[in-house]
Chain A
Amino acid sequence: MSTEKPALEVHNLTASYQRKPVLWEIDFALPAGKLVGIVGPNGSGKTTLLKNIMGLMQPDGGYVNLFGKKLDEVRQRVSYVPQRESVDWDFPASVLDVVQMGRYRRSNLFKRLSAEDKHVAAEALEKVGMLPYAKRQISQLSGGQQQRVFIARSLAQQADLYLMDEPFVGVDASTEESILTLLSEMKQEGKTVVIVHHDLQTAYDYFDWIVLLNTRLVAAGSKEEVFRSDLLQEAYGGRLTVLSKIGDLISRKDFPIREGEFKEKEGLGDG
């Protein structure tokens, strides 16, 4: 029955940085078992959307449901691959160390990793073709290898829904190919993979479902539906002038983004 629920449902999500809205009333749902691209120009709020889905930012309004539930109830089924540049790769750790971090959970707080955890981590490394590099220091990896390590860490979480932030940025052709192979394998296993991607050229080939974003939702649907020149033009043809002006006003004059007395229906997705 849970298969009927959308893997991800974003409901009227509005989010801001330093009180300046960067996402306006985003509302869409994604079916399970698809490769989904979140596509849009630079600064269109793609990463912000991912952070809101993963609970790394508190939205100003709206909510997110995963498999029809709140994030905290389905944590184990969701995995996140942050942007490669978001960490310092000069950190003293080996490839295996980083992949094993995928096994750190609330349940093994204070404890050492079990033999099974270590096995799962090694398997994940094998899947991305990085097992021969297990002992290598992460500071010595190429960009493509770093990305594969991050994906392996996420695979080690054995989730059903994966959210990846720009995994194709700055990787070599062979890494790109191996990520794509991996994605199609994951799809075959019935996993849902949501990928933030800025390159319109490749988006059509990579994904089956596309969310077109430019601070507001332009379109969400199967790639055939979304890849229409008018919609692409809308997403890549600059921001809406009035919307930007209102965003500036909210931030400068300290207006609230949602009025305090306005109570949102918190759909728990059960009914």
Chain B
Amino acid sequence: MDKFFAFFSFTDPNVRLVTFGTMFLGLSTAAVGSFAFLRKRSLIGDAIAHAILPGIALSFLFFQSKNPFLLMGGALVSGWLAMVSIEYISNKSKLKPDTAIGLVLSVFFGVGILLLTHIQHTGIGNQAGLDQFLFGKAAAIVKQDLYAYGIIAFLLLAVILLLFKEFKLLSFNPDFAQASGLPVQSLRFVLSTITVLAIALGIQSVGVVLMAALIITPSAAARAWTERLSVMMLLAGGIGAFSGLVGSYISFTAPNMPTGPWIVMCLSCIALASLFFSPRRGVLAKLLQQRKNRIKIVSENLLKALYHLQEQSDFQNRHFTEGDILEQRSFSQGDFHTALKKLKKEFWIMPITEKNRFQLSEKGVEEARRVVRLHRIWEMYLTERMRLKADHIHPNAETIEHIITPEIEEQLLEELGYPKKDPHESPIPYKA
């Protein structure tokens, strides 16, 4: 607990710097990752992340320095090389893109590990910390490096801001972009370059192995909440930043813990929760919708049963008991009570308490007539337009009556010419 307060009070300037730095890296990586996500390049992101390792190692071997700009330069070159190789292999050979990605990923990563091991054995000075590129360690980033990474992250965001609309079109419909005369080759080049750089940045916090998660997961989570690209990118950035915060907290409190896995854990939790709770696409929303449909179906069926009872008595008898209704149509115990509750709540039925009976209210009659009308005009449609025989149409109409919207109703009536009777010669009840 003490550590928690020590960390979140941000009194230690070093803690402050590294934390905000890591958050900023997470933010820009996630924002750039949105385009990779939308272009369905998740796996290429993973391959590039692995392919960056030999670039970093070679740059260190060559310059004998951990200068962040030099390391980033190496990362950029090998990340780029990997991307070009993937494209070349999948275009020029019969190998499928996933094979090309797998091939490039493992070859580059293998070379990277070899070089890293070599560096550790030669004992070149100040090599400590290079292995942290594997799993990431936020707390190990030095202050000066952080400034450099911050500048690069800032540049990436600026490029996205400037070319937002072009990148949007490039992600949605590249052929159209090219046909419109946009410099698609250059745009692709810029987008690829910032993607490689973003991946190289993200490696500082999560490491090579788990980098794909930082590129893709924030966008996947954000996509669940919005239908707007700009909002999605902001959200993804926020999620990336928050995970950076969690990661660096853990890096500070438990120095032996690698940062990457914790950031990824945090991201995954947010993504899972998003997929579950998403208002439009989520599992929960789907369950709720299904429940709503169920209630609508049973209560409309109940209304219809009441209407049929009225119809059978030539609209003389208007009060019915529960037994009357269940005789007219069978309902399961639970459904029956759900439907009754709903009908009472909407004031579609009025209970006549002393006799334990129900009566349709005026509004209820209107609603019941609507359902019966939909059922019967749909039966007309099935016989007239789909040429179904009169004894085959009822089951289908039982379902579709609950689905037809007022718009479709209007269209159906127009197409059928406002028929008076359904195929079974029952009158179609129009609005009073």
The reply to whether B175 and A82 form a contact with Cβ atoms under 8 Å apart is yes
Which residues 56-76 in A have Cβ within 8 Å of B in the complex? 56, 72, 75-76
Nearest-neighbour CB distance to chain B for A103, whole angstroms, equals 9
A87-95, A125-133, A179-187, A233-241 - interface stretch: A87-95
- Chain B, interface SS category: helix
The reply to whether B179 and A80 form a contact with Cβ atoms under 8 Å apart is yes
- Chain B residues lying within 8 Å of A55, measured Cβ to Cβ, are 178-179
Bound-state Cα–Cα, A104 to B184, Å: 12
The reply to whether A92 and B223 form a contact with Cβ atoms under 8 Å apart is yes
Which residues 128-160 in B have Cβ within 8 Å of A in the complex? none
The reply to whether A56 and B178 form a contact with Cβ atoms under 8 Å apart is yes
The interface of chain A, by Cβ under 8 A from chain B, is 51, 54-56, 72, 75-76, 78-80, 82, 86-88, 91-94, 97-98, 101-102, 104-106, 109-110, 112-113, 137, 139, 153, 157
**B169, B181, B226: the one within 8 Å of A101 (CB):** B169
Nearest-neighbour CB distance to chain A for B17, whole angstroms, equals 33
B400 at the interface (CB under 8 A from A): no
Taking each of A56, A98, A101, A102, which has the highest tally of chain B beta carbons within 10 Å of its own beta carbon?
A101
Bound-state Cα–Cα, A102 to B169, Å: 10
Bound-state Cα–Cα, A86 to B179, Å: 14
> Contacts A80-B176, A91-B172, A101-B172 given: A109-B181 contact, CB under 8 Å?
no
- Chain A residues lying within 8 Å of B176, measured Cβ to Cβ, are 80, 82, 101, 153
Nearest-neighbour CB distance to chain B for A150, whole angstroms, equals 9
> Contacts A55-B178, A93-B168, A93-B229 given: A106-B173 contact, CB under 8 Å?
no
Bound-state Cα–Cα, A97 to B169, Å: 10
- Chain B residues lying within 8 Å of A110, measured Cβ to Cβ, are 162-163
Bound-state Cα–Cα, A231 to B59, Å: 66
The reply to whether A56 and B175 form a contact with Cβ atoms under 8 Å apart is yes
Nearest-neighbour CB distance to chain A for B162, whole angstroms, equals 5
Which residues 252-307 in B have Cβ within 8 Å of A in the complex? none
Bound-state Cα–Cα, A79 to B179, Å: 7
Nearest-neighbour CB distance to chain B for A195, whole angstroms, equals 16
Which residues 162-216 in B have Cβ within 8 Å of A in the complex? 162-163, 165-166, 168-169, 171-173, 175-183
**A51, A76, A82, A113: the one within 8 Å of B173 (CB):** A82
In this complex, what residue of B is CB-closest to A101?
B169
The reply to whether B227 and A109 form a contact with Cβ atoms under 8 Å apart is no
Bound-state Cα–Cα, A154 to B181, Å: 13
- Chain B residues lying within 8 Å of A104, measured Cβ to Cβ, are 165-166, 169, 177, 180, 182
The reply to whether A109 and B166 form a contact with Cβ atoms under 8 Å apart is yes
Bound-state Cα–Cα, A98 to B182, Å: 16
Chain A proximity mask over B345-387: 1 for CB below 8 Å, otherwise 0: 0000000000000000000000000000000000000000000
The interface of chain B, by Cβ under 8 A from chain A, is 38, 40, 162-163, 165-166, 168-169, 171-173, 175-183, 223, 226-229, 232
- Chain A residues lying within 8 Å of B177, measured Cβ to Cβ, are 104
The reply to whether A106 and B181 form a contact with Cβ atoms under 8 Å apart is yes
**B162, B165, B166, B173: the one within 8 Å of A87 (CB):** B173
- Chain B residues lying within 8 Å of A92, measured Cβ to Cβ, are 38, 223, 226-229, 232
Bound-state Cα–Cα, A115 to B228, Å: 21
- Chain B residues lying within 8 Å of A54, measured Cβ to Cβ, are 175, 178-179
Taking each of B162, B175, B226, B228, which has the highest tally of chain A beta carbons within 10 Å of its own beta carbon?
B175
Bound-state Cα–Cα, A75 to B226, Å: 35
- Chain A residues lying within 8 Å of B229, measured Cβ to Cβ, are 91-93, 97
- Chain A residues lying within 8 Å of B38, measured Cβ to Cβ, are 91-92
- Chain A residues lying within 8 Å of B173, measured Cβ to Cβ, are 82, 86-87, 101
Nearest-neighbour CB distance to chain B for A53, whole angstroms, equals 10
The reply to whether B171 and A91 form a contact with Cβ atoms under 8 Å apart is yes
The reply to whether B168 and A105 form a contact with Cβ atoms under 8 Å apart is no
Bound-state Cα–Cα, A112 to B226, Å: 22
The reply to whether B175 and A93 form a contact with Cβ atoms under 8 Å apart is no
> Contacts A98-B172, A110-B162 given: A105-B182 contact, CB under 8 Å?
yes
Nearest-neighbour CB distance to chain A for B278, whole angstroms, equals 13
Nearest-neighbour CB distance to chain A for B89, whole angstroms, equals 14
Nearest-neighbour CB distance to chain B for A3, whole angstroms, equals 23
The reply to whether A106 and B182 form a contact with Cβ atoms under 8 Å apart is yes
- Chain B residues lying within 8 Å of A113, measured Cβ to Cβ, are 165
Bound-state Cα–Cα, A105 to B178, Å: 10
The reply to whether B172 and A109 form a contact with Cβ atoms under 8 Å apart is no
Nearest-neighbour CB distance to chain A for B330, whole angstroms, equals 37
The reply to whether A56 and B182 form a contact with Cβ atoms under 8 Å apart is no
In this complex, what residue of B is CB-closest to A91?
B172
- Chain B residues lying within 8 Å of A137, measured Cβ to Cβ, are 227
- Nearest 6 pairs of A and B residues by beta carbon: A80-B179, A75-B181, A137-B227, A54-B179, A92-B229, A87-B173
- Chain A residues lying within 8 Å of B226, measured Cβ to Cβ, are 92
Bound-state Cα–Cα, A145 to B169, Å: 19
Taking each of A78, A87, A92, A113, which has the highest tally of chain B beta carbons within 10 Å of its own beta carbon?
A92
- Chain B residues lying within 8 Å of A80, measured Cβ to Cβ, are 175-176, 179-180
The reply to whether B172 and A87 form a contact with Cβ atoms under 8 Å apart is yes
In this complex, what residue of B is CB-closest to A90?
B223
The reply to whether A106 and B162 form a contact with Cβ atoms under 8 Å apart is no
